[in-house]
Amino acid sequence: MKMSYRWLTRHLPQLPEPAQVAKAFVHLGIEVAAMDPWGLDYQPVQLARVVERRPHPEADHLHLVEIEVGADSRASVVTGAQSGAPGDFVWYGPPGTRLPDGRVLATAEFRGEASAGMLLSAEELGFSHPSDGLWVWAGSDPIGTSLLSVLGGADTVFDLELTPNLAAFDQSAIGLARDLAAYFRMPQPQLPKAFGFGQDALIGMVEGGAPLYSLIVLEVDNTGVSPLWLQTLLAAIGQRAISPLVDVTNFVLWDLGQPLHVFDYDKVSLPIRVRNAEAGEVLVTLDGVERRLSSDDLIIADADRALALAGVMGGQASAVEATTTRVILESAHFDANQIYRTLRRHRIESDAALHFGKGTDAALAFNAPTAVVEHLGSVARARASQRVGEVPSAHKIAWDGDRIRRLLGVPWEDQILLENLEALGFHREAHWILVPSYRPEVQALHDLAEEVLRVYGVDRVPLKMLSGMVFPGHRSLADEHWFRLKTAWAEAGYWEVITSAFSAASREAWLDPDEVEAIAIVNPLRPEEHQLRRGLLTGMLETVAANRSRSDRGLRLYQVAPIFFRQEDRPVEAQQLVVVQTLEEAEVRWPKEPAATIHDLKAALQWVLARVGLAEEFYLGPSPAWPGWAHPGRAIAIWDRQNRRRGIVAELKPSVARWFRSRRLGVVVLNLGDAQTWTFKTAAIQRPNRYPAAVRDLSLILPEPMAYGDLRPWIEEALRSVGANLSVDYWLADRYTTSAHEASITLRFVLQSSTSTLSDKDIVAVLASVVTHLRQKDVKMRQ
Amino acid sequence: MDETIEGLLAAIEQGIEKASTTAQLEEVRVAFIGRKGQLTRAMKDLSELSPEERPRQGKRLNQLRQVFDSLYEARHRRLAAEEEDAQLAEERLDMTLPGRSPLPARLHPVTRVTRMLEEVFLRMGFSLATGPEVETVWYNFEALNVAEDHPARAMQDSFFVDLPGYVMRTQTSPMQIRAMEEARGRVPLRIISTGRVYRRDEDATHIPMFTQLEALAIDRHLGLADLKGVLLTLAREIFGASTEIRLRPSYFPFTEPSLEVDISCVVCGGKGCRTCKDGWLEILGSGMVHPVVLRNGGYDPDQVNGFALGLGIERVVMLLYGFDDIRLLYQNDLGVLSGFGDPLAPMGSQGGPLL
């Protein structure tokens, strides 16, 4: 909201300079977004006397005018205006003058005749004046007078940001002045007295949404212009003068905070009624929009039809025109919630709606008309009036200074608390605090505490530090697990990324269709974000594509985040891990990095699971089916201890990888489920074994379709059957394919006892058992 | 025998001197002290001498053997060094060539700063709780004193979902109510919650999905003065010991009084610059928990007070790392992500006590 410093001084003549006022605003909780000088562009515009006027030799519609702009100082200008006869005083903009529309005047040539700047009309200067053409000045100011000095000098305009609680009472000059008066300890500004309403039968029925309602029939001469001081104040806050009636109601809105409406008397059939609209009733509002009304909309109507959306916007059919001479001025108090609902329903952000909708001072309904009539002066005369409703008496809050002190944690005596409340216009009466009518939102002690704090200052609150019992803080188990998992992936060389929770059916279409039902976003920012992601994979692969469009470096990315789906009418959120890795030689670079393989990605997963103690929670194994995007020959499933399939490690089909700007991509998808159910196993710490280890290699031939992983249970069984008291570690030492149907592998066994040096007999017994078991499974020994 | 020994000495000296490689030197060694070497043979020949003569010649031969060993050792050391030098000269590399860098990775900067903030609160005795991102309208709005027609709902434009009664949470504040319900009136209650929140807003400083930290404390004797202490501690732990805070009255439906919290500018230290304009940077919102909210969480506002604060974590990331476009954080460009080192300000307060 914009407010002029000069306007504020009308209520507080002793107001300190603008910089101090800005500080006071911040202190009071009113954010000052900007503080700008206003009117400096009017400084160079000078009062000049027309000395001579003659036709332009080359153009019929132009004149050459000689003007006097100071003692012995003259200028020649070309004008198209007919006004400005010799002897007239007119406003002259010399070269360099900036006009409100942004034009900067220069010395220009019009058909061979130079014009040093321009003679100006009121409209060009941003004001309204009854005559067209040049702004002929009727005042007695001397030649050379600056327009700015006639306007009252430069002003400062504050651009203020009001939070909703402040908007209820600070959306006007008087509201802001009340806050400033409290801060600077000046007397509170006063409202004009209530208008002396008559008993004329103008108002019919008034329904609940309008506790106070009044109408005044005015006879007006709306053909003139508003006084310059009023136009200037409106201009400073960005409002353009239109006609006396419009300007004055506008002025009262921003001065006192009371929205007013004016109907054309001759377009209305009295009495006026305030009622809820009938569902489907139609009204064309002032902005030309035909609106279908709801039964929750409060309207102003006459006997025949809806005239206006109460407190929000007038109707076109009853609008005042330039020639109107009889009007009905409406001043009312509406229920803020009702107006706010209508404002939202019809998306009308009119100044009236933004005032009524946030709450207004009930007392204004009957006082504001006094200001209107006063400012219109001789232009208007009241012919009839009526009011309905009584301004409610002051709301009371039981006084409890201790409660305020406890809430704020301050030692301030009652006297300090009360002084600050009284400075804002609150009164103490016995054990009660009387709340002024302009602070309807102040309902309880904590509201009073806030008021004290705003005026007296947060800076004065002492500093304390959580006295009382102290307990150590802790993380939730689940949070600790997620964080360990994330950290382990980073340690393994994978970068954490965070992708958007929003997705679209079209973006996820390449995945297997609709295993779970998505939650839709009713009001997405973009069509491609119309639902919540059901998996992280799409976002992760799009991240790969985005990175690859900028650089061909290898990528190792992961994310642990929730995915969303619906179960009937309830949302389900589940944590998922997705890892993606490019499996191809990265950018041309020496020394060469070998391309990662899907086995490397699988090993990383196993390393991470072991690292965080989940190695026994999940295991890898075959699956009866693979998703459509997975390379069927390069995939392995992730199973949990209850033998539920929880995820996959796989290469993408190259045709799918290409969509994401890659030749080969490996992915891990793991639905983590509920971390609370996990059992963590960490390896026991053991002393170093001082007995020598025996190393033996076994070379085997695996017939198709036997896999390396198939050997593991057989070997484990063989070792168990020997039952020797020794530890056996084994791994794949070498592997090569001998034909398309056979692979030759070498296993290295490392045997060690913790109690003695192993004998050959012990070693042979173990290996013989392994060989026997493997032979039973058709594994051939290589010689 | 005496002549033989004299001759051997001369031959040893000459042979060792003439050897120019360790291989040649090895030949010399074999020629003299190998199994059939001259010196070895002379030793064997001692047995043929008379018992009187044998000790004297034996002693001389032993001395000769010692001379051989010391000459050999010295020569071998020198030749080996020369040969190694020659070998190393052969192995010279262009040490300006690049090698393979280690390939460690890091957590996302938002995750790291979230963790850092959590640690500050954990040290102050707050525990961490987490909650759902698709939240009920009750927890997200109504329980927090934001009725359906409340203008505050327009302040934070929400994403609605097609599940009746649910909304993408616009803030982490619903966790206030969830935590209060779980605590069932117990005091003191001190919790924080961090997580993603969603608002329909997008420009250089706003994104539709961002991360918040919420803190809530409830106790019998707890006032705004305690909130002030926690805010100053937070500011100094994160931005350094010389950081100051400024509190401005503000408005949030779920707190009253409400405060907007500024910190002294991390760029200019509070003198005023392009980043801050007036020396202060808006950093978070806070206040005393509204009585309605306390009641909705099962606490009696006549018996206890509470304070709450909500902080946009991306804002802290941007201030710590000194950049001004929030969208950079979520483009997930590896070049950008790998540029995030450790935050500029040292973690931990090096200053004296607050109070």
What share of chain A in percent tops pLDDT 90?
74
pLDDT at B350 over 60: no
DSSP A593: P
- What does the pLDDT read at residue A364? 94
pLDDT value of position B151: 63
- For the beta carbon of residue B275, count every other beta carbon within 10 angstroms: 14
Q: Which residue has the higher pLDDT, A71 or B259?
A: B259
pLDDT of residue B159: 93
CB contact under 8 Å between B257 and A532, yes or no, is no
pLDDT of A165 strictly over 90: no
Rounded to two decimals, the ipTM of the complex is 0.88
What pLDDT score does A425 carry?
94
Supply the pLDDT for residue B143: 94
Going by the DSSP 8-state scheme, the letter that residue A529 receives in this structure is: G
Q: What is the mean pLDDT of residues A524-530?
A: 94
Check whether A634 has a pLDDT greater than 90: yes
Strands (E), A511-640: 531-532, 556-567, 570-582, 618-621, 630-640
Assess whether pLDDT exceeds 60 at residue B344: no
Query: What is the pLDDT, as a whole number, of residue A206?
Result: 81
pLDDT recorded at residue A366: 96
Residue among B125, B129, B258 minimizing CB distance to A471: B125
pLDDT level of residue B349 (50, 70, 90 thresholds): very low
**Does residue B34 register a pLDDT over 60?**
yes
Is the CB of A411 inside 8 Å of chain B's CB atoms? no
Beta strands in A404-486 (DSSP E): 427-429, 432-435
Q: Are A489 and B133 a contacting pair at CB < 8 A?
A: no
Taking CA atoms, what residue in B is nearest to A165?
A: B251
Sheet holding A727-739: strands in order across? A727-739, A742-752, A694-703, A780-781
Task: Pull the structure tokens for residue A647.
Answer: 């995820």
Distance CA B242, CA A295 (A): 59
Poorest-confidence range of A589-593, A709-713, B44-48, B152-156? B152-156
Q: What is the pLDDT of residues B205-243, one digit of tens each?
A: 889 999 999 999 999 989 999 999 999 999 999 998 889
Contacts of A31 in chain B (CB under 8 A): 248, 260
Residue B292 touches chain A, beta carbons under 8 Å: no
Q: What is the pLDDT of residues A721-772, one digit of tens each?
A: 987 678 889 999 999 887 777 889 999 999 999 888 999 998 999 999 999 9
CB contact under 8 A, B125 and A444: no
Cis peptide leading into A57, omega within 30 of 0?
A: no
- pLDDT tier at B2, thresholds 50, 70, 90: confident
Query: Which range among A187-201, A227-241, A546-560, B264-278 shows the weakest confidence by mean pLDDT?
Result: B264-278
pLDDT band, very low/low/confident/very high, at B156 (cuts 50, 70, 90): low
- Residue A679 pLDDT exceeds 80: no
Query: What's the pLDDT score for residue B266?
Result: 85
Across chain A, what does the average pLDDT equal?
Answer: 92
Q: Where are the beta strands (DSSP E) in A643-709?
A: 645-652, 665-671, 694-703
Within 539-558 of A, beta carbons closer than 8 Å to B belong to 543, 546-547, 550-551, 553, 555-557
* Number of Cβ within a 10 Å radius of residue A330: 27
Task: Select the more confidently predicted residue: A541 or B205.
Answer: A541
Is residue B159 within 8 A of residue B140, CB to CB? The reply is: no
Tell me the per-residue pLDDT of A236-262, one tens digit each, with 9 for 90 and over. 999 988 899 999 999 999 999 999 999
Report percent pLDDT > 70 for chain B.
95
pLDDT at B346: 47
Report the amino acid identity of residue B331.
Q
The structure tokens 């004001």 sit at A127
| pLDDT beyond 90 at A321 | no
Percent of chain B with pLDDT over 90: 72
Angle between helical axes of A760-776 and A708-722 (0-180°, round to 10)? 130
| B280-289 vs B255-264, strand pairing mode | antiparallel
A203 neighbors A315 (Cβ within 8 angstroms) = no
- Interval A443-455: pLDDT, tens: 999 999 999 999 9
Residue A674, pLDDT score: 81
DSSP character at residue A102: S
CA distance A125 to A133: 12
The shortest C-alpha distance from A208 to chain B (Å) reads 18
Chain A residues touching B259 at Cβ < 8 A: 458
Give residue B347's pLDDT.
44
CB B210 within 8 A of CB B169: no
Say which DSSP state A520 is in: B
Best A450, A469, A572 residue to mutate vs chain B (most B CBs within 10 Å): A450
Name the residue among A163, A496, A566 with its Cβ closest to that of B107: A496
Q: For residues B345 and A320, which has the higher predicted lDDT (pLDDT)?
A: A320
pLDDT at B354 over 70: no
- Residues of A within 8 A of B99 (CB-CB) are 591
Residue B202's pLDDT band, with cuts at 50, 70 and 90, is confident
User: B152 pLDDT band (50/70/90 cuts)?
Assistant: low
pLDDT band at A112 (very low <50, low <70, confident <90, very high): confident
Residue A611 has pLDDT above 50, yes or no: yes
Q: Which residues of B touch A165 (CB under 8 A)?
A: 251
Strand partners, B218: B189, B306
